[in-house]
Structure 1
């Protein structure tokens, strides 16, 4: 029996809902012509020296203009945010928000260095990497090919290479995700160092609350479609081709 949108919406966690609405709203703004897409992407000089701080947020959740590839990209982003919120961060909203903050911050710096226009696709890959490493027995698929989660990100990256797509976002996302796992999961066990613990003020601002059941043991993903280019591109930018990662 098909699930209604209302039922599906009610099952989403608050952070997943916020990211979904935020991404859709940013897309509406960029697609409608109210704001130039260029005002939503990464730009170091304008962010730092003109105080256009909103670019850090918009570049993290802008997936291009409305299209089928955009829909697939949004579904993937929502899927991995939802999986994290329902599994490792069940009842730990503050910790999840802090992880997202760290990932976006790191990826924004990488985007500044390598002139990447958006952070959203790399963020999605970083969430995929973290989920797969923490749930290595989960099953995910690219079209008709199923992979264990422990090798799924590499299979997805290889698929992008075969399609001739840019893998810079994938690589940046993998580095960010692995870096977080090293600092958050490994260092405390091997050296007793807790370098990325959630600050107390965030825990006070976002109280923990248990909301969900356990994560599903099996996750299915669909293969990527090419990322839609933005309508307006500055001449010095190399946008390349993007991708959509897996979704359930």
Structure 2
């Protein structure tokens, strides 16, 4: 079994694998009481006025206590982040990391509007949304109950999250992730192609970042 788990983990593309590992380790650290959620959440005052900048990073790795909601978000983020990295961003690790980095900055700027201390779930919806827009005709079976096409997947997951948590605040974070995912899709698939006529700094990672990931440019 350990060999099987190791083989499964190594098959996950590198950016998704690193993100998944940090999320799992963060939740385990909280579960083992090595850290508390109060040390991880993000607010502008705590991060930049009280000189605790790590909060602008840790907010993207904590999905809450290990629960059904934790498993739900982690499963769907890992599945569709992997699909996206293996298809649209195959052999383009730097570009995928650049997408997630830009999305993270946007979410940090938007977070005061929704007063969300943790932004892991909104960020997880970015690759889900982008993948769904790039595979519009792909049928998806939700829990073996209903079959939908890919563009409806983000809204279906938002609705399920709302039902699972029983509060609109959970859905608000996921909807914010969909909005940021839409911006990422528009920049890469509409604005860059139809208005710029080619890649731009918003759609393609800078050369320095590509060198960091060992890629040619």
Instruction: Give the TM bin, normalised by the shorter chain.
Output: 0.7 to 0.9
Shift of 1:207: 2.4
User: SS at 2:151's partner residue?
Assistant: coil
User: What is the rounded CA distance, in whole Å, between the counterparts of 1:61 and 1:100 in structure 2?
Assistant: 13
1:187 and 2:194 aligned: no
1:1-20 superposed matches below 5 A = 4-20=4-20
1:152 and 2:190 aligned: no
CA contact (8 A) 2:69 2:161 kept: no
Shift of 1:4: 2.4
1:201 and 2:205 aligned: no
User: What is the rounded CA distance, in whole Å, between the counterparts of 2:66 and 2:36 in structure 1?
Assistant: 15
Shift of 1:195: 4.9
1:75-224 superposed matches below 5 A = 75-143=75-143, 144-160=145-161, 164-166=166-168, 167-192=171-196, 194-196=200-202, 197-208=204-215
Instruction: Count matched residues.
Output: 207
User: What is the rounded CA distance, in whole Å, between the counterparts of 1:184 and 1:125 in structure 2?
Assistant: 17
Shift of 1:208: 3.2
Residues 51/62 of structure 1: CA separation in 2 closer, same or farther (3 Å cut): same
User: What is the rounded CA distance, in whole Å, between the counterparts of 2:67 and 2:103 in structure 1?
Assistant: 26
CA contact (8 A) 1:89 1:95 kept: yes
User: What is the rounded CA distance, in whole Å, between the counterparts of 1:13 and 1:154 in structure 2?
Assistant: 26
User: SS at 2:148's partner residue?
Assistant: strand
Shift of 1:29: 2.0
Shift of 1:73: 2.2
Gaps of 5+ in 1: 210-248
User: What is the rounded CA distance, in whole Å, between the counterparts of 2:207 and 2:51 in structure 1?
Assistant: 27
User: SS at 2:147's partner residue?
Assistant: strand
1:38 and 2:45 aligned: no
Query: C-alpha root-mean-square deviation of aligned residues, in Å?
Result: 2.0
Which structure ranks higher in relative contact order (CA pairs < 8 Å, sequence separation ≥ 6)?
1
Shift of 1:174: 1.2
Residues 19/32 of structure 1: CA separation in 2 closer, same or farther (3 Å cut): same
